[in-house]
Each structure stands twice: as C-alpha cells, then as structure tokens.
Amino acid sequence: MDISRIYELIGKYTEGNTTLEEEKYLREWIQEAGPALPADLLPFRNQFELFSAAQDIPVDIYALNNSILDRINDFETQNKPEKNSNRFSRLLIAASLAAVVGLAGFFLYRTGTHRETDTYADPQMAYLETQKALLFVSQQMNKGIEPLSNVTKINTGQDQLRTLERMDESLGMLNLVSFINKSSNLKK
C-alpha cells in the first residue's frame, strides 16, 4: 500500500474517524513494517502493542462498576454540608425569638398593670438617654456575636484540602501514564 494512504489513515485514526476494518489494516501494516517503519509512526506501533497487551487482561465489569459507584458515594458523603451548624443557627434564632417575645410580654404586662410616668420632662434628654441605652445593648450584642465570626474560618481549610485532593488525583493519573509507558517498554 502507498505510504500516503497510511498517513491518511493515521490522520483519520487520530481524529477518531476510522472504521474497525481500517484500524485493523493499519495495525497489521504497522506490525508487518518492522524496522522499515518510519520514525514518526513508532508511537503508533507502541500504542497498538499496548492495546493488544491490554486485551489479554481480564476485566470484571461488575467489580469495576461497583468500585466506581463506591468512590462516587464516598465523594458525595465527604462533601455533604454539615447539618450541625445549621441546627445551631436555627437554635440561636429560636432562642432570640423566645427572648424577644418574653421581653415584649413582660413589658406589656408591666405597662398594663402599672402606669409609668415620664422620668424626663425634656423629650430631648429622653431621646439621648434612649440612644445611649440602645448603643449599650448593640455593643453587648456585638460582643456576643464576635466569637461566632470564627466559625466561617472552618470552611477555608476545606478549600485548601480540596486543592490537595485534586493534586493527588493528578498524581494518580501520572502514575497510570508511567505504568503504561513501562508496560510498553517491556514489550520491546
């Protein structure tokens, strides 16, 4: 066969457009060429030899499928959001609402049974005192919330671990490529 036809088949093969018969012909031609094979086609000889060697390896499809499903399930369980923090925030909201309702009930009860008289004759002074009291309450609430700001820092460590996990997966792929290269070198 004409070498230009072989290069045409190689082009179709690398694009994934060859038929099974064309691939079989290409594989046989490359094996029969022996030492006369052009240097730029040597990687294809190694590839076809590796494919032939891989056909002899028994593969249990069900075990492979179960292994993949187990890894997917492990990944999903590891990446589920923590429900405890959600429960904690709901508990805080419920406690806050209970405190507000309790205080509102207490003040409503007190105003209903006992009439308060104004403590300040000047409305401007009453306004300033109210402002001061509300500022004090706000500062106390901020002090109580401040330790909770560190809770968000917990997630930053997980992001760094995900980066390491991706690196580990990449190293696994490189080990697989190294194994394939070693096995192709053994065939020589």
Share of the chain above pLDDT 90, in %: 7
Burial class (CB in 10 A: 0-12, 13-18, 19+), 23: middle
Angle made by CA atoms 176, 180, 182, in degrees to the nearest 5: 115
| Entry field: residues in the chain | 188
Query: Is the pLDDT score of 68 beyond 70?
Result: yes
User: Which is more confident, 96 or 167?
Assistant: 96
Share of the chain above pLDDT 70, in %: 88
One DSSP character per residue, 18-80 reads --HHHHHHHHHHHHHHGGGS-GGGHHHHHHHHHHHHHHTS---HHHHHHHHHHHHHHHHHHTS
Nearest CA among 80, 92, 84 for reference residue 147:
92
The two tokens of residue 14 are 């690398």
Burial class (CB in 10 A: 0-12, 13-18, 19+), 26: buried
Query: Is the pLDDT score of 131 beyond 80?
Result: yes
Q: Residue 31's CB: how many other CB atoms inside 10 A?
A: 13
